[in-house]
A and B are shown apart, each in its own frame.
Chain A
């Protein structure tokens, strides 16, 4: 039996149905489009750890008794439940990151889990927290920090200073990942996804960006896939195929921090009173194959802070087979308008505490992603009529413990249990029913407890690194009972519009002289040494894209980065979006509006929150839509 098919005609720009989309900022011709429709039972958006948890739990129950009438499809009577998952990346293993996780929820789903079954997975063996001093002298450190650094320097070996790094004598309990796992999420996804597909109970389709939800009033009735065969502006071109409307009784939204469906729901439904998404970070890292004589044991985990800038945290995770993930987090509270990630990553790996281990290594992979760090502050409506949200886009990441994968997986399993309960009871996926089953489970779980403890843990960072660390320690050591207060402004306001010592003139001269990007020149002008390129680990950003990211964009999709109000871009002096663009996909445009090259975009989403302008006082001037392509590495 084939899927039930009907055609609908919508008047509007491709991909943006005028009934369900705010079309005011979309500059596309209005045309009549024949749009096909397909009915399924559950439409899922985004395949990551949250969806892995959801589908693993769901398909296990479905497989136990496939003929159970409770699990008969309503969309296709006589068939089993029709569950489809759409993932925008070209492969379910592409474009995600390596992590260390306590792995409680994952181990709960796989009680007999043997990490050796998952490539690049290892049990956590040893954890260290390192405070990195600045061996270069270019870091923007406060007088207080400099004083502390001097004292540590004077103490030298007596206080345990080695290679310009001071190791904390213990790892705070809230950071501790003892008993956990070092993972490549790309490989975890592939491992989970292949089992799910083999079950025959679910279909997962990569390379299928979802443009947005089908929203009627406040009810989600499915999703609309992105149009194909369009030009960069989204207008029909060669081989045009209007994105299909996939109608479903339940839409499971797990499209991450910058997903189009999650964003559209936030925009249309608003966030709960007092909630806002304002805290972000960009994680950027390299996967390096260490030399054969490497002494780093699989399962080794280092957390670092203090370098290359005080605001930038770093990490090093050792996988089996001499592979290591090493990278940094650049947070939205780093107010520097010229903040950037790639150049800092190059300085980070050269720190004397790291470089001796890495210098003879080979680059295997490189990538970056945005992290939604608002936690409870940014939690959206977890469910509503016809939809439920899980994982990072549901605000599940715990920024006190620095843990997101486990929480995401747990929220997926909680939703699956709720869905099974509702199916067995023959109840529809209404707001009330999902609240009574999914939200109740989530609120009663360790995910919620952790989220509450972490809720105000990072407020202090708005006042600087020292205040932030004190606030984090306070919340961490008291289980969230005490924390520092603090107002968190919208992301665009966290970018300082003027900052001393920018050395813009020097940088501009340098950039003009050798054609390098301005933000790169800025770091040089501020005293950061030039990167001694060696073609191996010390490489240009473009070569990182080619060697490590292997970036590709399928033709036929519209640009997924657009600017809501070009006049704001023209007036914007900082253009932080360009400095923070991981792939150099955004460059200075001749008319003052940044130029976007889809072929270089790795879909990290940094531009969305690294924009100093806002048309509405809350959201940035960047529109980040659904798009295909991006990283082609499974080792991230």
Chain B
């Protein structure tokens, strides 16, 4: 019989579990129910007791590794914490969120346990045996995999399960002791991109995709990068959308072209960028095929403004394409949104 451990950790504030962890809890509950397996949930946090109140009140054994050393994400401490939780539970399947914190350590923990790991899991299914679905080649190929070997670690991509929202708050938490190695790394904090305001908003409802067309010559034969920048920033401010961009646009910095100052490589989506998850997406001035369009693989409702209705970003990929000049349309949209706020 399978035995499942879900690993969770605190968010940046330390006072709550992060959303991705709660999604992993949902996945654990579902899988345990389907396999009729034992379920345990492990917490890594400075003060795990407080966080346990976010977790199911029954049906799962709760364990925690607590202490100031776990207030921050760090390889040595997090790996030791996860290892201790695994050794305490002896699970056959370990589920964890693919947060930056656990992505850093999960493979090593699997190795320490003599187990194996698969990551970027987008769903867990199978009837006779556990089968997990994940992406290869930067979201361009999808595969269902299975493993005979145990323990099997599965790192779940954010957004693939709903965050746990069941009854909480009464179960006891077992504290698991950890012996830490000598620490050679100190975490001193966070740094936001140096250029301009933060434009990456993972929790936003909408992704706004700016393509290289914004900095190309417009019908009057001129480049209007400043105006493009103002329109994009205006739209982001009015909608709270997150900003994604194509590789060709973020790469322009090195070529002496007019570039949009608030864009960095962190904004890049697609083949060699990120594939964020948002409910809606609006692409503007984008043109590209499969390698680029994977950038909005996980966008729910997609619309595009493009002068070419047959372009790869639009045909078969968007729900609606407006054949129009994005400069004109976004200016009007911003005006309407501004008027609505006023």
Contacts and interface: CB of A to CB of B under 8 A. Distances in A.
A and B are partners in one complex rather than unrelated chains: yes
Interface of A: 231, 237-239, 515, 533, 535, 539-540, 542-543, 546-547, 555-556, 589-591, 595, 597, 599
A430 B177 CA distance: 83
Nearest to B251: A555
A288 B180 CA distance: 60
Nearest to B315: A535
Contacts of B311: 540, 542-543
B256 interface: yes
B161 to A, nearest CB: 34
Given A535-B310, A556-B255, 9 more contacts: A238-B256, A535-B315, A535-B316, A540-B310, A543-B289, A546-B312, A555-B254, A590-B221, A595-B221
B257 to A, nearest CB: 9
Contacts of A542: 287, 308, 311
A237 B287 CA distance: 28
Nearest to A590: B221
Contact of A547 (B217, B222, B254, B312): B312
A239 B222 CA distance: 27
Contacts of A590: 220-222
A559 to B, nearest CB: 12
A315 B315 CA distance: 30
B221 A555 contact: no
A18 to B, nearest CB: 25
A251 B315 CA distance: 49
27 contacts: A237-B255, A238-B254, A238-B255, A239-B254, A515-B307, A535-B310, A540-B308, A540-B310, A542-B308, A542-B311, A543-B289, A543-B310, A543-B311, A543-B312, A546-B287, A546-B288, A546-B312, A547-B289, A547-B312, A555-B251, A555-B254, A556-B254, A556-B255, A589-B221, A590-B222, A591-B221, A595-B217
B36 interface: no
B170 interface: no
B221 A539 contact: no
Interface in B305-332: 307-308, 310-312, 315-316
Nearest to A555: B255
Contacts of B220: 590
Residue among B217, B251, B287, B310 with max Cβ neighbours from chain A (10 Å): B310
Contacts of A533: 310
B248 interface: yes
Nearest to A589: B221
Contacts of A597: 216
Given A535-B315, A543-B310, A237 B256 contact: yes
Contacts of A556: 254-255
Residue with the highest number of chain A CB atoms closer than 10 Å, among B217, B255, B288: B255
A419 B99 CA distance: 62
Contact of A546 (B254, B289, B307): B289
Interface in B254-285: 254-256
Contacts of A515: 307
B247 to A, nearest CB: 10
A239 B254 CA distance: 9
Interface string B207-249: 0000000001100111000000000000000000000000010
A614 B222 CA distance: 28
A355 B248 CA distance: 36
Contacts of B312: 543, 546-547
Contacts of A555: 251, 254-255
What class of interface size applies to chain B in its complex with A?
20 to 34
Contacts of B216: 597
A494 B251 CA distance: 42
Given A539-B310, A542-B308, A590-B221, A231 B316 contact: no
A535 B314 CA distance: 11
A336 B289 CA distance: 33
A600 to B, nearest CB: 10
A19 B93 CA distance: 73
Contacts of A543: 289, 310-312
Contacts of A535: 310, 315-316
The 10 residue pairs across chains A and B that have the minimum distance between CB atoms: A590-B221, A546-B289, A555-B255, A540-B310, A237-B256, A535-B315, A533-B310, A231-B256, A547-B289, A555-B254
Contacts of A599: 248
Nearest to A531: B310
Contacts of B308: 540, 542
B34 to A, nearest CB: 38
A543 B316 CA distance: 14
A447 B312 CA distance: 46
Contacts of B307: 515
Contacts of B316: 535
A542 to B, nearest CB: 6
A599 B221 CA distance: 17
Nearest to A591: B221
B286 to A, nearest CB: 11
Which of the listed residues B256, B312, B316 has the most CB atoms from chain A within 10 Å of its own CB? B256
A395 to B, nearest CB: 38
Nearest to A588: B221
Contacts of A239: 254
A238 B220 CA distance: 29
A16 to B, nearest CB: 20
Nearest to A597: B216
B308 to A, nearest CB: 6
Nearest to B312: A546
A29 B315 CA distance: 45
* Most chain B beta-carbon neighbours within 10 Å: one of A539, A555, A595: A555
A237 B252 CA distance: 13
A13 to B, nearest CB: 17
A239 B315 CA distance: 39
Nearest to B252: A555
B309 to A, nearest CB: 9
Contacts of A591: 221
Contacts of B222: 590
Contacts of A589: 221
A597 B251 CA distance: 16
Contacts of A231: 255-256
Nearest to A237: B256
A591 B222 CA distance: 11
A539 B312 CA distance: 10
Nearest to A557: B255
A51 B220 CA distance: 46
A238 B257 CA distance: 11
Contacts of B221: 589-591, 595
B69 to A, nearest CB: 43
A246 to B, nearest CB: 26
A305 B22 CA distance: 67
Contacts of B254: 238-239, 555-556
Contacts of A238: 254-256
A238 B251 CA distance: 13
Interface string B160-177: 000000000000000000
A599 B255 CA distance: 12
B304 to A, nearest CB: 15
Contacts of B255: 231, 237-238, 555-556
A16 B220 CA distance: 33
Contacts of B217: 595
Interface in B16-62: none
A231 B256 CA distance: 7
A75 to B, nearest CB: 34
A539 B310 CA distance: 8
Contacts of B287: 542, 546
A589 B217 CA distance: 10
A547 B254 CA distance: 26
A123 to B, nearest CB: 34
Contacts of B315: 535
A255 B308 CA distance: 36
A540 to B, nearest CB: 5
Nearest to B248: A599
A499 B61 CA distance: 86
